[in-house]
Structure 1
Amino acid sequence: MSDIASVLVTGGAGFIGGAVCRRLVRRGYRVVNLDKLTYAADLNALRGLDGEANYRFHQADICDGPKVASILADEQVHAIMHLAAETHVDRSIDGPDVFVQTNVVGTVALLNAALDYWRTLDGRRRDAFRFHHVSTDEVFGDLDLDEGVFTEETPYAPSSPYSASKAASDHFVRAWHETYGLPVVLSNCSNNYGPFHFPEKLIPLIILNALEGKELPVYGDGRNVRDWLYVDDHAAALELVLTKGELGQNYNIGGRAERSNIGVVETICDLLDAKVPLASGEARRSLIRFVTDRPGHDRRYAIDPTKAEQDLGWHAEESFETGLEKTVDWFLQNDWWWRPIREQRYSGARLGTGA
């Protein structure tokens, strides 16, 4: 472990943030989880950390600068890992203002609080401090099916209000580094999947609908391509970016696992048919229904993770096939987590394609 022993994780009750908190606590870091607890946050995913001496939770909004400043002063962390964000593309199309507020205004408020806190540090603590901003490959825009891949030098070209808000936040983080000297590192990831994935996203929605014998909605022709990354592999990469990443640099984190949406859905159908066949004997592929595509739906994302692999020594441990089977098995074994969300908090009205 580096000089970073205590980490403030924003958005730690979210899907990726929860995986980060579980990993860092398990590896001996002191973790301070700051989360507003919006609709997609769930402390049940972190109930295994309750009572751990090296874990604390604060319910707070990153837009509340004085509150964040107070938490930083009280907790005296060595680093911040910023994952708090609104992330659902369809929701950003319906209501972009909240994405601007959280992802842009909130990030700036957090940067200001971090800068003020960092300036109070001295000596080794000041030198070791890091602000790690976690972002998405969607900031790079769209790729043709036969085009190359996103690298750290790919120009930004966001297509949705969500990706535009994340692109703006990336730029503000870099500006606080260049203008004020705040020690930052950045990472951009491909689509995550795995345990505790919120049920409005593509993979968990298809798993649960298919398990229950419901229709399986697929946008457009289903041939949009995404690069998929198992969430625990991403959490491992984020730890390395935080502790070993070069200041001012960004690192693309991807799974080298490009799949079309229809291919993902068909694979899930086949896995569930083998594990828990429908009582009717019907193949679950027959449940697939193509629905009207969403506006501005990017055709393809693909990340080149070579820099992270070479500079940080990170490699994804799960292939898409092994990771997806682990994910299906997890949902089959953990209805205590997802069933209340499906029945009480989420109607299944939205279809997501991302993390």
Structure 2
Amino acid sequence: MILVTGGAGFIGANFILDWLSKSDEPVINLDTLSYAGNLESLASLHGDARHIFIRGDIADTALIASLLAEHQPRAIINFAAESHVDRSIHGPEDFIQTNIVGTFRLLEAVLGYWRAMADADKSKFRLLHVSTDEVYGSLDPGDAAFTETHQYQPNSPYSASKAASDHLVRAYHHTYGLPVLTTHCSNNYGPLHFPEKLIPLVIVNALADKPLPVYGDGRQVRDWLYVKDHCSALRRVLQNGRLGEVYNIGGGNEKLNIEIVKTLCRLLDELRPRADGKSYALQISYVTDRPGHDKRYAINASKIEHELGWRPEETFDTGIRKTVVWYLANPDWLANVQSGAYREWRGKQSAAPEKLAL
């Protein structure tokens, strides 16, 4: 059995669905169901005994200790995090509490659990901490891509809180011997993505005949990773990664934000044309840039390729088409996820997520 924290979020839900499509090993899914946690993303697992959902917080040490004692997982994959830069700018405290304090309390509970294990089980146990390339800061156009030894230079409250969580995980390995692994991924995209991030937001706004907001000049560069490729990389790291090591996971797809938006417009023009026959590109609207907006992220993923034999399967062209097709085929999911806390966020730019009822 494995424990997945943040398993009702975008990447966590995709990971659980991917895991159970390839294995019968059960999953304990711990999630607070904050604004981006959505059990509807896991509706296909309703009634599946391999998926056990627990509503709770990684900062709840007693709950974590109880779950570990009851279920005895052989591994933990930690996705639980506040993860949106804009939200962190408007309200950083939630990011400090979840990403730093929560990670610390999770580590404390896991350390006690691991120390009490029999030696044979202790040697097999793993804690995989899922992090972001944003901890490395911003690159200039001619700079080499981020490697695992790149100096941390976080530029937002979000990335600073994730950097702090990474340091805690590293410290618990080097100080206490806790068997940890850390991954840094580039920008994920794909099915089940909460529509506050660029790709799903553009799709949603385009279909609703709303402006397609582009920060500044739209020339910020990101490396794009299809979420199912990310899931396969995480399985590989969990299975064969060297203890205490960090692995960068990238898609090898550096794209300008404005290029992403125009690509989405072209796909929607093809797959769901506007009633007036005009291009969705007419809805593009340039807005005031985000404070401290990083200009470029780029991942060097040669370490995971050389050590673990992993490479992404999807090109950007194949992955982005699959993504648009999925959103067009799932209007009910989109309509439901945009209710409640999401609408309030878009209207008020408030950083405090509402809790969703079960």
| TM-score bin (small chain) | over 0.9
Q: 2:233 is matched with which residue?
A: 237
Structure 1 residue ranges without an equivalent (≥5): 1-5, 351-355
- The one-letter code matched in structure 1 to 2:212 is L
**Correspondence 1:168 to 2:168:** no
Q: 2:67 is matched with which residue?
A: 71
> How many Å separate the matches in 2 of 1:36 and 1:208?
25
Identity over aligned residues, as a percent?
55
Alignment partner of 1:21 out of 8, 16, 19 = 16
> How many Å separate the matches in 1 of 2:15 and 2:71?
18
Write out aligned runs for 1:244-323 (5 A). Answer: 244-323=240-319
| SS at structure 1 position matched to 2:128 | strand
Please, which moves more after superposition, 23-32 or 338-347? 338-347
> How many Å separate the matches in 1 of 2:262 and 2:170?
40
> How many Å separate the matches in 2 of 1:191 and 1:223?
15
Alignment partner of 2:180 out of 179, 184, 192 = 184
> How many Å separate the matches in 2 of 1:222 and 1:283?
19
> How many Å separate the matches in 2 of 1:235 and 1:140?
22
Conserved 8 A contact 2:35-2:342: no
Conserved 8 A contact 2:131-2:166: yes
> How many Å separate the matches in 2 of 1:51 and 1:146?
52
Conserved 8 A contact 2:38-2:337: no
Alignment partner of 1:155 out of 123, 137, 151 = 151
Conserved 8 A contact 2:95-2:157: yes
Conserved 8 A contact 2:213-2:285: yes
Alignment partner of 1:53 out of 30, 49, 52 = 49
Q: 2:354 is matched with which residue?
A: none
Q: 2:115 is matched with which residue?
A: 119
Post-superposition Cα deviations, 1:187-225, rounded to whole Å, max 9, x if no partner, equal 000000000000111000001111222110000000000
> How many Å separate the matches in 1 of 2:341 and 2:160?
28
- The one-letter code matched in structure 2 to 1:234 is H
Q: 1:353 is matched with which residue?
A: none
Q: 1:9 is matched with which residue?
A: 4
Pick closer, same or farther for the CA change 1:290–1:319 going to 2, 3 Å: same
Post-superposition Cα deviations, 1:87-127, rounded to whole Å, max 9, x if no partner, equal 00011011111100000000000000000000111132111
**Correspondence 1:224 to 2:220:** yes
Conserved 8 A contact 1:24-1:30: no
| SS at structure 2 position matched to 1:22 | helix
Alignment partner of 2:85 out of 65, 85, 89 = 89
Conserved 8 A contact 1:78-1:128: yes
Structure 2 residue ranges without an equivalent (≥5): 350-358
**Correspondence 1:135 to 2:131:** yes
| Cα drift, residue 19 of structure 1 | 0.8
| SS at structure 1 position matched to 2:297 | coil
> How many Å separate the matches in 1 of 2:341 and 2:57?
21
> How many Å separate the matches in 2 of 1:113 and 1:23?
27
| SS at structure 1 position matched to 2:178 | coil
- The one-letter code matched in structure 2 to 1:17 is G
| Cα drift, residue 160 of structure 1 | 0.2
> How many Å separate the matches in 2 of 1:343 and 1:13?
16
> How many Å separate the matches in 1 of 2:122 and 2:28?
19
| SS at structure 2 position matched to 1:346 | helix
Conserved 8 A contact 2:59-2:105: yes
Post-superposition Cα deviations, 1:127-155, rounded to whole Å, max 9, x if no partner, equal 10001100000000000022110000100
> How many Å separate the matches in 2 of 1:56 and 1:284?
42
> How many Å separate the matches in 2 of 1:94 and 1:170?
23
Alignment partner of 1:104 out of 100, 103, 108 = 100
> How many Å separate the matches in 2 of 1:89 and 1:138?
10
- The one-letter code matched in structure 1 to 2:104 is V
> How many Å separate the matches in 2 of 1:129 and 1:211?
46
> How many Å separate the matches in 1 of 2:140 and 2:26?
43
> How many Å separate the matches in 2 of 1:296 and 1:180?
36
Aligned residues: 345
- The one-letter code matched in structure 1 to 2:57 is D
> How many Å separate the matches in 2 of 1:214 and 1:277?
15
> How many Å separate the matches in 1 of 2:61 and 2:324?
40
- Superposition TM-score, scaled by structure 2 size: 0.95
